[in-house]
Structure 1
Amino acid sequence: MDLSVLLVEDDEHIRQALGLALADEGFAVSDAMSGEEALDLLETTTFDVVLLDLMLPGVDGLEVCRTLRARGDLPITVEPARPDATDVIAGLEAGADDYVTKPLVASVLAARIRALLRRRGGGRHEEVIRVGDLEIRPDAGTVQRRGSEVHVTRTEFRLLVELASAGGRIVTREQLLQRVWGYDYFGDTRLLDVHIRRLRRKVEENPDEPTLVVTVRGAGYRMDT
């Protein structure tokens, strides 16, 4: 069954060309020309992933991203207007799982989308992983703190499992990018750094206490056990 993509892009030429190219890559593509149209469509139709231009008329892409993230963990890939740090980080902080920059190459984009949606095989991790007062269940995809659920996206959950299952050992940036996003390290750490910040805000209950996700400068990250 084809993976379904909602392409949200106001430029007609880009929308048509990218839609045809993704269809050639095996995706079932629907499109929307505005943020309002996208949100309305997502109220009634289920998609596997949203490809979202951030520069939209009316309700812009950042607001669409925040709204979708508040609704749930639907995978979102954003297209920043510019590849500079400000636009990229704004999209990721709004809740995006990944980003791609223009001009878009359909084959590369297709690989990124498939990597985002790919499920890792089971059996790698313990049934329950405990770190501090967190209880992580990889099979169920849940995180709890003292019996209360901690809401994380699927990408944040995969990142948390990789860190927690390392048993206090350092996991390099390259390893996290490969294992969580499924493609090789290209020297751009913004994707990972923003997700680490988002994850910390959710799993570290008290900002006055020592951090749970520790940055090891020049190496990567580890979780204090």
Structure 2
Amino acid sequence: MKRVLLVDDDVELSSMLTEYLEREGMVVTAVHDGLAGVEACRVGGFDIAVLDVMMPGIDGVEVLRRIRAFSRLPVLMLTARGDEVDCVVGLELGADDYVAKPCTPRELAARLRAILRRTASDGPADVLAVGPLTMWPQERRAQWCNATLELTSTEYSLLELLVRNAGRPVSKAELSEQVLGRPLARYDRSIDVHMSSIRHKLATGDDSRAWIQTIRGLGYQFVKI
């Protein structure tokens, strides 16, 4: 059973979501302010966290910033519908995905399952190596130029998909379907923001070439040597 940390100041909504997610086989711990959310993550024991952006005091973005200082725990953000700024900022800080409120408990559960599926370590025990990049998918571990490459769960899955298809473009629609677990929506910048973060992390190595290329009209491609 997967353990979910729900951080939302709306007690009534938290209760409804908790009841639904527990019927779906998850164990939910709900806290109602940002500081409590940070401390719960510090204690640990969770498989994923759900953070509401709009909270009094320390909001969800600041909670995420503090969590990322010590943990790579998968995080799903709850944002105001149509607030693209919150979505982009959350993704840039290392959120794995977001859901716009108001959302149905069913949609939230589906997004959580999609993230949890891709963070599971029950895949093939192979090793992927292209250029200075080495990935161990079963361990969800990667090295770039022989140094540990720190990636969020979504970044890892996106990079793994590109590497498995090195030398050919992978469309944003395919990346969204296979990694985010949802169809690519119009004006959805999630994939682009994640790719920008991955590129930035790869550029910190000794080899500064553009290993991830944007193929106009087709998608993204990892360079094959």
Q: Given the two structures, how large is their TM-score scaled by the length of structure 2?
A: 0.89
Gaps of 5+ in 2: none
Corresponding letter in the other structure for 2:54? M
Corresponding position of 2:213 = 214
Corresponding position of 2:6 = 7
CA contact 2:121–2:138 (8 Å) conserved in 1: no
Corresponding position of 1:47 = 46
Matches of 2:153 and 2:191, distance apart in 1: 14
Matches of 1:49 and 1:201, distance apart in 2: 25
CA contact 1:25–1:107 (8 Å) conserved in 2: no
Shift of 1:43: 2.3
**Greater CA drift, 192-201 or 39-48:** 39-48
Corresponding position of 2:129 = 130
Provide the secondary structure at the position in 2 that maps to 1:73.
Answer: coil
CA contact 1:80–1:91 (8 Å) conserved in 2: no
**Greater CA drift, 31-40 or 19-28:** 19-28
* RMSD, aligned CA: 2.1
Question: For residues 52-103 of structure 1, what are the alpha-carbon distances to aligned partners after superposition, in whole Å with 9 as ceiling and x for unaligned?
Answer: 0011122211111122222222110001134232121111112110100111
**Greater CA drift, 181-190 or 192-201:** 181-190
Shift of 1:189: 3.0
Corresponding letter in the other structure for 1:95? G
Matches of 2:29 and 2:134, distance apart in 1: 38
The change in CA–CA distance for 1:121 and 1:29 in structure 2 (over 3 A counts) is closer
Corresponding position of 1:187 = 186
The change in CA–CA distance for 1:87 and 1:146 in structure 2 (over 3 A counts) is closer
CA contact 2:51–2:78 (8 Å) conserved in 1: yes
Provide the secondary structure at the position in 2 that maps to 1:71.
Answer: coil
Corresponding position of 1:173 = 172
CA contact 1:129–1:165 (8 Å) conserved in 2: yes
Q: Given the two structures, how large is their TM-score scaled by the length of structure 1?
A: 0.89
Matches of 2:206 and 2:190, distance apart in 1: 23
- Asked if 1:204 is matched to 2:207, the reply is no
Q: How does 1:42-191 map to 2 (within 5 A)?
A: 42-118=41-117, 119=120, 122-123=123-124, 127-191=126-190
Provide the secondary structure at the position in 2 that maps to 1:18.
Answer: helix
**Greater CA drift, 50-59 or 112-121:** 112-121
Matches of 2:23 and 2:151, distance apart in 1: 33
**Greater CA drift, 17-26 or 111-120:** 17-26
CA contact 2:132–2:146 (8 Å) conserved in 1: no
**Aligned residue pair count:** 222
Shift of 1:115: 0.8
Question: For residues 182-215 of structure 1, what are the alpha-carbon distances to aligned partners after superposition, in whole Å with 9 as ceiling and x for unaligned?
Answer: 2333335322111111111111236994321111
Matches of 1:45 and 1:138, distance apart in 2: 23
**Greater CA drift, 2-11 or 200-209:** 200-209
| Moved beyond 6 Å, runs of 4+ | none
**Greater CA drift, 38-47 or 2-11:** 38-47
Gaps of 5+ in 1: none
Corresponding letter in the other structure for 1:19? T
The change in CA–CA distance for 1:209 and 1:3 in structure 2 (over 3 A counts) is closer
Corresponding position of 1:24 = 23
